[in-house]
Structure 1
C-alpha cells in the first residue's frame, strides 16, 4: 500500500492572525479574535459578536485586476493559497500541470459580493449588476480562482457540507493523490459577515446572543448558548509522499485517516453517528485509540450537540483519557474553513510539541472529557484526531500523524 499523502505547505487566514505564523503565535498565547462586528452595524440584531479578519487589505496582497471579480472570501482564500504554495515550494513548474489540482470546500459562497449586486438591482436595475456576479458568489469560485492563478489543471472540485466540508475536501484531495496526482491544494475558506449573511446565520438558530466577547462562544461549558460566526480558514498543500521525498520537500505530517458519516433525521430511533466516524477514521489510519495524543473538537456550543461529541470521544478513547482542545474558541466557527484550520493547528502541534488551549471555557463536569484550558500544554504530539460537524447531520474526522510514524 502506498504511503499516506503528506502536507508540505500551510496557509492560514484567521480572526486572530493573518498568516500561519501569526495565527499560531496568537493561538498558543490564547489571544482571541472574537469581537463586536465592525463590517456593518450589528446593534439592530440579536447577535453582535463575530470573528473577522481585521486589517486585511486585499490591495496589498493581490493584483488589482482580481479585485473587481472576487468576493472578500475568495481574496482571503487566494492569500492563504499563496502562502501555502510558497511554504511548500510548489510552483506551476514543480510537476506537470495536469498532475496538480485544487479541491476546496465552501458553505455560503460569496455573500458580500452578492449583497452588493442585489443592492444595485434594487437601486438602479439589472443593467448595473456586475457580470462577475455570475461566478463570484458560487461555491466553487475559490477552487477556480486558485487553479487559474497558479496554472493548475489537474483534478479539481468543491465540497459543500457545511462545517464538515473542509475535512471532506481534504479527504477528496487524498483520493485524487491516491489516483496518481502529485499535488492537490485543499482546505476551505468561508466569509459571510455582512447583513445578508448575518440574517441567514441567525435563521439557523444556533448563534450566541452574548454581549461579551469572552462569554460568546463556550463549548462544553454550562453557559454554552450558541456559536460565533467567523470568516477565514486554511489552505493546505497535500502532496504524494514519494514525490515530496524525491524533491526534498519539508513535511509537516501526513493525512493518515479520514471518515465521514451522516446522522439520521431528528426523531429517528437511530442514534448519532459521530462515534462511528471517529472509529472508521482510526481504522483507515491503521491506528488504535491509544496512539492519539490530542483531539481537536468541533465544539458546537449547543448543549445537546456538545453532549453527543463528548460522549463519542469518551466512548472511543475512554473518559478523560485523551487531551481535548477547541482553539476555535479564539476565532469563532469558520464553517468550511474551521476543519482545515484545526488540521493546520494539529500539524503545528506535532511540529512544536504543544497543544493549544481552549479559552474562556469552564468545562462542565457532565462532559466526560479532559479539555486543555487556559494555557498551552507542552507534550509530545505524534498523532491527532480532528473532528468537524456540519448543520443537518454531517460528521467528518481526519487523523493527522507525524510523517513516517506508522
Structure 2
C-alpha cells in the first residue's frame, strides 16, 4: 500500500492558507519581524515569525476559545482546511477509519504561562480548569480528533524539528496497516516569555535578527509559529473516491539519532537520508530537489552541506530553504513537506528567502533570489531536532 497526500492545511507567518503561503514563498516574501505578542525589548533576540491576520473567533466556535492555546487554535484550523482541501468529512467515515498523529515541541506554553502567572499572583482559584490539558504536548492531536470525531490510531511525536517528518512517517505506517485516512503534520508556537527563554537557551537563535542558512553571514535561526496539517490516504482508496488533489506519495522515510557527543562518530543525518532513499527504492540520482533542514548555525550548516555533497556530489542537486521566510517552526518540518508537494505540483523550486548566495566552501546549488522552474518528480526533505534527532522523507509526484 502507498500513502498519498490528498489535502493540505497551512498556517504560516507569511501566509494564512495554503495558496496564500505558497504565493508568498515563491515571491520570497518574509513573515519574520519584531515580536508583537509580548514585550521582547529586554531579550537579546527580538525577531520571530508570527502568523498574521489570524482571529480564532472567525474560524472556531466560541466554546473552544477558553480551552485552547494559540498553537492549538492554529492546528484546528489547519486540520479543517486540510480535510476541506481533500474533500473529506471525517465524521462521515466508518467509526475507526481515520486517526490523527501530530508533532509538538512543548505544548501550549503560552496558555500555561498565563495560568501559572494567575496562580502566583492571585491563587489557585484563578487558574483555569483547562490548564490540566491545554498545555500538554499531545493537546493538538486530542483536540483535532475530538473536533473531527476520529477514533482511529492517534499519537504525538516530540522530536522538535524532526517531528513533522516523524509524524508523517507514523501516518504512513498506519495507512500501510490498513487505516483509511490519517491527519498528520505539526503546528506549534511558543511566542511568549516562557517559550522564548527556552529558545534562547539553545544558543542558536540569531541575535542579529536575521535567518540566513548556508550563507557566510549565518548567525543562527529565528523561531516561528504555525505549520501544516496534511491528509494522508491509502492511494487506491483515494483514487477510488475521486480525490480532487493527489499532491504526491510519501515514498520513503527514515529516522536516526546522533551519537553521544565526544564519541568520534559522525552525526546521523546522512544515514537518515540514505535510508529514506533506500526505503523509497530510489538512488540519489533520482532526487530533483532537497528541502534542507537549514539550521542557520554555521557548524550545523557545514555538517548538513557535507551530507549533501557526500550524497549528491558538489552542486549535485538544487537545495532550498524556504523556512528562512517563516522561521524554524517548533512543530517540525511538516511545512517543508507541504512546500515540497506544492513544488512538485507546480514545477518550481521556491527561493531561500533573504539568502543572496551560499558560502562558497559549502559547494551547494542553493536556490537564491528567485523561484527556479524545474521538472520535478521527487524531493528529499531533511530535518534535525534539538537533542540529536534526525529525519528524512522522500515525496514523489503521484502517478
Q: TM-score, normalised by structure 2?
A: 0.98
Of 257, 261, 279, 2:256 maps to 261
Report deviation, 1:93: 4.6
1:399 to 373, 394, 397: 394
Q: 1:175-200: per-residue Cα shift (whole Å, max 9, x none)?
A: 11111100000000011000111111
Q: Which residue of 1 aligns with 2:354?
A: 360
Q: CA RMSD in A?
A: 0.9
Residue in 2 aligned with 1:248? 242
> After superposition, what is the alpha-carbon deviation per residue over 1:303-355, rounded to whole angstroms, capped at 9, x for unaligned?
11111100101111111010000000101000224x11010011000110000
One of 254, 260, 277 as aligned partner of 1:282: 277
Normalised TM-score (structure 1): 0.97
Equivalent in the alignment of 2:344? 350
Q: For residues 257 and 311 of structure 1, what CA distance do their matches in structure 2 show?
A: 22
| Distance in 2, Cα, partners of 1:137 & 1:309 | 33
- How far the C-alpha of 1:95 sits from its partner, in A, is 2.7
1:176 paired to 2:181: no
1:274: Cα distance to partner?
0.9
Aligned 1:196-207 pairs, distance under 5 A: 196-207=194-205
Q: Deviations over 1:195-253 (max 9, x none)?
A: 11111111111110014xxxx10111111111101100000000011110110112111
- Cα separation, 1, equivalents of 2:349 and 2:279: 24
Q: 1:69-93: CA deviations, max 9, x gaps? A: 0000000000100000000011135
Structure 2 unpaired stretches of 5+: none
Aligned mates of 1:148, 1:316 — CA distance in 2? 43
Which residue of 1 is the match for residue 165 of structure 2? Answer: 167
What residue number does 1:96 align with?
A: 94
Q: Could you say which residue in structure 2 is the equivalent of 1:145? A: 143
Does 2:300 align with 1:305? yes
Give, in angstroms, the shift of residue 256 of structure 1.
Answer: 0.2
Matches within 5 A, 1:354-393: 354-361=348-355, 362-393=357-388
Relative distance call for 1:264 and 1:17 in structure 2 (3 A) is: same
User: Is 1:225 the counterpart of 2:214 in the alignment?
Assistant: no
Look up the match of 2:36: 38
Q: SS of the counterpart of 2:254?
A: strand
Match of 1:235 in 2: 229
Mapped partners of 1:356, 1:269: distance in 2: 36
Match of 1:315 among 283, 301, 310: 310
User: Which sections of structure 1, spanning at least 5 residues, go unmatched?
Assistant: none
